[in-house]
């Protein structure tokens, strides 16, 4: 029997799609074990989620996890060294059992997992938690096929809109401020034409980018890896674990008392931090818009809000420390999602047909925002002022346009269209369902070969 080890990078934005993928894969027959760090298992996750088993490795920060590391570079170095050692020990343990691993799926930003798998002769498959377009950009920049333009210059790539420097993933810029992270992202895809690479997207959403990726790899889009019907392999509208505790009762009670399409939901995800000035402009823009708003501001970030805003955001607002985003997006009261455009949030909004107001910050977010506005027509991108942040008047303008304007009507129609296409992709016979079935056949074939080889060696 096929037994797939799924190795995740241990932050919320990477855990969610890979956990959902693990559940989707297990529903097709293979045994699946998701591997994450001891800290996350101790604090946030159970030993079994649905039909997926959970196993642990160490990142060298078992007591505090990534947030206890001095910086991200130090954490990644420790994760690679300690993680490689403890992952090898885990594979050895399972090799001595009756259910050894027969292949590995690893997060593309944890390529050290691939090296460990190779040392055991274990077939390994890369899984990208970012969009196909962003992945294609990183790979083509790495190969020298594509160059990030200088400011003021636009370029056209694989049938997409004209893009300027500010539209590219910030970590594709080789002379940028984070050279170590840039190197990690540019080196995600070092395989060959025969190597499988899985993408959390669907063909209809990113046709042009998938065509490019298939020139380099055995690329398949198997998403959206989001727990929504018809692919419901999880406990309702949740992924199954959260590193932060949501204020569910407060959120849902408040939302359920609001009219349909009347609330602006605001969340910048689990890791983005905004300046005090940007938070002030958002706060005043939302309060002055006259619209209801539900704003997720993590406890550690609430100090950046104007004094007294959490306790008194106005008659129309509610500020919470965390929410179960899928439940919020599924609520009929939500009429707009003000988002940083992380890929998970972008896909979740698409799956639930929610219009977006894009205020991207860095990494892949500017590219996602470009697509939201110009490729898919599911939202607007707020324009930053001369000082580099989005001002309150711009927040108000975009909210009004999306919620009440003529363009907002077209955005809602587009959002509804992509919602249906996302459902079709993961339904029986849909593009992503077919791709996942193809991958399962490959996994089963690899398992048979590996088990036959083990018997010969014995």
- Cβ-Cβ contacts under 8 Å for 286 (sequence gap 6 or more): 264, 266, 293, 295, 313, 317, 338, 395, 399
Q: Are the C-beta atoms of residues 361 and 374 closer than 8 Å to each other?
A: no
Ranges of beta strands (E only) in 45-178 are 48-49, 52-57, 103-107, 124-128, 154-155, 163-164
- The verdict on 411 and 451 lying in the same domain is no
- The verdict on 32 and 82 lying in the same domain is yes
Q: Tell whether 243 is covered by a domain.
A: no
Active-site residue, selected from the candidate residues 24, 59, 107, 203 = 107
Helix (H, G, I), strand (E, B) or coil at 231: strand
- The verdict on 410 and 381 lying in the same domain is yes
| Structural domain boundaries, residue 308 | 248-421
Ranges of beta strands (E only) in 214-354 are 218-221, 263-267, 292-296, 317-320, 334-339
- Cβ-Cβ contacts under 8 Å for 106 (sequence gap 6 or more): 6, 7, 113, 114, 117, 124, 125, 126, 127
- The verdict on 267 and 405 lying in the same domain is yes
- The verdict on 448 and 342 lying in the same domain is no
Q: Tell whether 56 is covered by a domain.
A: yes
- Cβ-Cβ contacts under 8 Å for 451 (sequence gap 6 or more): 102
Q: Tell whether 72 is covered by a domain.
A: yes
Element (H, E) at 289: helix 276-289
| 3-class DSSP string for 50-85 | CCEEEEEECCCCCCCHHHHCCCHHHHHHHHHHHHHH
- The verdict on 445 and 320 lying in the same domain is no
Beta-strand relationship, 48-49 and 52-57 = antiparallel
Element (H, E) at 112: helix 112-119
| Closest C-alpha among 62, 56, 60 to residue 34 | 56
Q: Are the C-beta atoms of residues 50 and 240 closer than 8 Å to each other?
A: yes
What is the rounded distance in angstroms from the CA atom of residue 211 to the CA atom of residue 215? 7
The answer to whether 107 is a known catalytic residue is yes
CA distances from 84 to 80, 195, 225, 398 (A): 6, 22, 27, 47
CA distances from 435 to 197, 211, 296, 410, 429 (A): 11, 14, 35, 31, 9
- The verdict on 144 and 258 lying in the same domain is no
Helix (H, G, I), strand (E, B) or coil at 403: helix
One digit per residue, the tens of pLDDT, for the chain of length 458 reads 899 999 999 998 999 999 999 999 999 999 999 999 999 988 776 656 878 999 999 999 999 999 999 998 999 999 999 999 999 999 999 999 999 999 999 999 999 999 999 999 999 999 999 999 999 999 999 988 888 899 889 998 887 888 999 999 999 887 777 788 888 898 888 777 889 999 999 999 999 999 999 999 999 999 999 997 666 555 456 777 777 777 778 899 999 999 999 999 999 988 888 999 999 999 999 999 999 999 999 988 999 999 999 998 988 999 999 988 999 999 999 999 999 999 999 999 999 999 999 999 999 999 999 999 999 999 999 999 888 899 999 999 999 999 999 999 999 999 999 999 999 999 999 999 999 999 999 999 988 887 776 665 55
- The verdict on 146 and 283 lying in the same domain is no
User: Residue 420: beta bridge partners?
Assistant: none
Longest CA–CA span in the chain (Å) reads: 73
Beta-strand relationship, 292-296 and 196-199 = unpaired
- The verdict on 149 and 195 lying in the same domain is yes
The answer to whether 364 is a known catalytic residue is no
| Closest C-alpha among 92, 87, 91, 90 to residue 107 | 87
230 preceded by a cis bond (ω within 30 of 0): yes
Helix (H, G, I), strand (E, B) or coil at 175: coil
Beta-strand relationship, 196-199 and 218-221 = parallel
Active-site residue, selected from the candidate residues 14, 139, 218, 340 = 14
- The verdict on 262 and 217 lying in the same domain is no
- The verdict on 402 and 437 lying in the same domain is no
Q: Tell whether 372 is covered by a domain.
A: yes
- The verdict on 223 and 270 lying in the same domain is no
Number of domains in the chain: 2
Q: Tell whether 242 is covered by a domain.
A: no
Residue 228 is given by DSSP the state: B
| Residue 73: other Cβ atoms inside 10 A | 14
Q: Tell me, what CATH number does 158's domain have?
A: 3.40.50.2000
Q: Tell whether 241 is covered by a domain.
A: no
Q: Tell whether 181 is covered by a domain.
A: yes
Q: Tell whether 240 is covered by a domain.
A: no
């Amino acid at each position: 029997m096929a037994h797939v080890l799924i190795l995740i990078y241990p932050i919320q934005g990477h855990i969610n799609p890979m956990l959902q993928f693990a559940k989707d894969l297990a529903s097709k027959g293979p045994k699946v074990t998701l591997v994450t760090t001891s800290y996350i298992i101790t604090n946030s996750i159970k030993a079994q989620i649905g039909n997926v088993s959970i196993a642990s490795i160490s990142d060298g920060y078992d007591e505090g996890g990534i947030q206890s590391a001095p910086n991200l570079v130090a954490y990644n170095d420790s994760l690679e060294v300690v993680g490689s050692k403890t992952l090898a020990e885990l594979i050895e343990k399972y090799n001595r059992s009756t259910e050894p691993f027969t292949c590995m799926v690893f997060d593309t930003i944890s390529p050290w997992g691939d090296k460990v798998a190779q040392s055991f002769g274990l077939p390994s498959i890369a899984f990208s938690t970012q969009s196909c377009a962003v992945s294609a950009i990183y790979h083509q920049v790495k190969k020298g096929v594509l160059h990030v333009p200088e400011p003021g210059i636009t370029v056209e790539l694989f049938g997409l809109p004209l893009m300027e420097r500010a539209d590219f993933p910030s970590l594709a810029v080789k002379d940028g401020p984070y050279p170590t992270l840039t190197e990690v992202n540019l080196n995600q895809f070092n395989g060959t034409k025969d190597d499988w690479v899985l993408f959390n997207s669907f063909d209809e959403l990113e046709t042009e980018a998938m065509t490019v990726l298939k020139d380099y790899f055995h690329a398949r889009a198997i998403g959206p890896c989001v727990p929504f019907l018809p692919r419901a392999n999880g406990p309702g509208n949740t992924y199954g674990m959260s590193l932060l505790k949501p204020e569910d009762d407060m959120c849902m009670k408040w939302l359920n008392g609001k009219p349909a399409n009347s609330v602006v939901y605001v969340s910048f995800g689990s890791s983005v931090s905004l300046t005090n000035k940007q938070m002030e402009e958002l706060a005043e823009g939302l309060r002055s818009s006259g619209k209801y708003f539900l704003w997720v501001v993590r406890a550690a970030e609430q100090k950046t809000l104007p004094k007294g805003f959490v306790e008194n955001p106005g008659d129309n607002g509610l500020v919470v420390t965390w929410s179960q985003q899928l439940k919020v997006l599924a609520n009929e009261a939500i009429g707009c999602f003000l988002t940083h455009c992380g890929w998970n949030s972008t896909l979740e909004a698409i799956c639930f047909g929610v219009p977006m107001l894009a205020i991207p910050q860095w990494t892949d977010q500017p590219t996602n925002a470009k697509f939201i506005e110009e490729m898919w027509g599911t939202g607007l991108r707020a324009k930053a002022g001369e000082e580099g942040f989005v001002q309150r008047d711009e927040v108000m303008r975009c909210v009004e346009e999306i919620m009440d304007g003529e363009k907002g009507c077209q955005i809602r129609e587009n959002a509804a269209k992509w919602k249906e296409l996302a459902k079709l992709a993961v339904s029986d016979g849909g593009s992503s369902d077919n791709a996942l079935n193809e991958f399962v056949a490959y996994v089963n074939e690899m398992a048979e070969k590996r088990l036959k080889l083990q018997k010969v060696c014995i």
